[in-house]
Structure 1
Amino acid sequence: MNKFKLKNKLKTFNGKRYVFCLIRKKYYLLTKEELVRQKIIYYLIKNRGYKVQEIYVEFNSTFYNIKNRLDILVIKKNRPFLIVECKSPEVKISSKSFDQIMKYYLRFKSQYLVLTNGIKTIIFEFKNDGIEFLKQIPKNF
């Protein structure tokens, strides 16, 4: 990912830092996970060509009576296209992370899944003959 420029996207209130979300159009507490989420959003829009209106952040869903909240869901042509699960940089990408995003896949059947902690990013695509690991998030076409 390219450098994420926080200039003009940060503000401080009562001694706490907040970051502006391009999708939700408001400021959120600047946690380490939120920074990772905002970097991915910025990357999707600025470097991969995704449109703001295609991206949903902290998308609430219920599957088998279990409530979930996806970090990022991209919808294209009225279908789930890409799911991103963001973790704080201190959280290692593990089988637990993989299990979490696979539950989202079972619910939404998106073509692409992305797991990231801002340091390590795993991108995979579901195809008829299995899963293919990718080096970068696909461009919007």
Structure 2
Amino acid sequence: MSRLSDLPVLNFARPTLIARKGDKHDEILCLVRKKWVALEPEEWVRQHLIYHLSENLGYPMGLMAVEHTLILNDVTKRADLVCFNKDRKPVLLAECKAPNITLSQKTLDQAARYNLVLKVPTLLLSNGLNHYAVATDPMKPIAVLGSIPEF
């Protein structure tokens, strides 16, 4: 379990997040779930990303799902963050990793597997320090985008 003081500064504009100290670990108030969750390094990244998507790119928090459940080959999986459009169609799938985890082909493969179910046009990989947005058009090769698309 993590302490707020142990977590690094991430490559996002400084968000407004609420955290509290616990006896065994610190907690952070999830912007989407509106509940206290353990402040793990991956959660630190996810909350920064949620804030960035909402405040800077216009994604409504009410159209986001954290740890979105999906069934892949009869196995239950959880996507870190899924953003939906106003018609509730998924448009962005984000895979978050802790800052000390290098984003790799394995990370992209994980998101791509989840996308077999969700079929979003954009995958987003982030460890809080590096962020990669990838366009997924079934008629074209996967393409790395220069930035995260706005809502």
TM-score (norm 2): 0.86
1:90 alignment partner, SS class? coil
2:133 is the alignment partner of 1:123: yes
**Structure 1 residue 67: deviation in Å?**
1.4
Q: Give the percent of matched residue pairs that are identical in Structure 1 and Structure 2.
A: 31
- Deviation (angstroms), 1:58: 0.6
Question: Which residue of structure 2 aligns with residue 72 of structure 1?
Answer: 81
Question: In the alignment, is the contact (CA less than 8 A) between 2:124 and 2:133 conserved in 1?
Answer: yes
Runs (5+) with no aligned partner, structure 1: none
Distance 1:15 1:69 in 2: 26
Matched residue, 1:53: 62
What RMSD, in angstroms, separates the aligned Cα atoms of the two structures? 1.3
Query: 1:13 is paired with a residue of what secondary structure?
Result: coil
Number of the residue aligned with 2:48: 39
Q: Deviations over 1:82-112 (max 9, x none)?
A: 0000000111111211110110111111010
SS at match of 2:21: strand
Distance 1:135 1:19 in 2: 30
- Larger deviation, residues 58-67 vs 130-139: 130-139
Ranges in structure 2 where 5+ consecutive residues have no aligned partner: 1-11
Show the counterpart of 1:14. 23
Structure 2 counterpart of 1:71, which letter? Answer: D
Match of residue 110 from structure 2: 100
Aligned to 2:7: none
Q: Normalised by the size of structure 1, how large is the TM-score?
A: 0.91
What is the distance in 2 between the residues matched to 1:44 and 1:93? 19
Q: Which amino acid aligns with 2:14?
A: K
* From 142, 148, 151, the counterpart of 1:137: 148
- The worse-fitting range, judged by mean Cα deviation, of 129-138 and 62-71 is 129-138
Corresponding pairs, count: 138
Q: Which has the higher strand share?
A: 1
1-structure distance, mates of 2:82, 2:114: 10
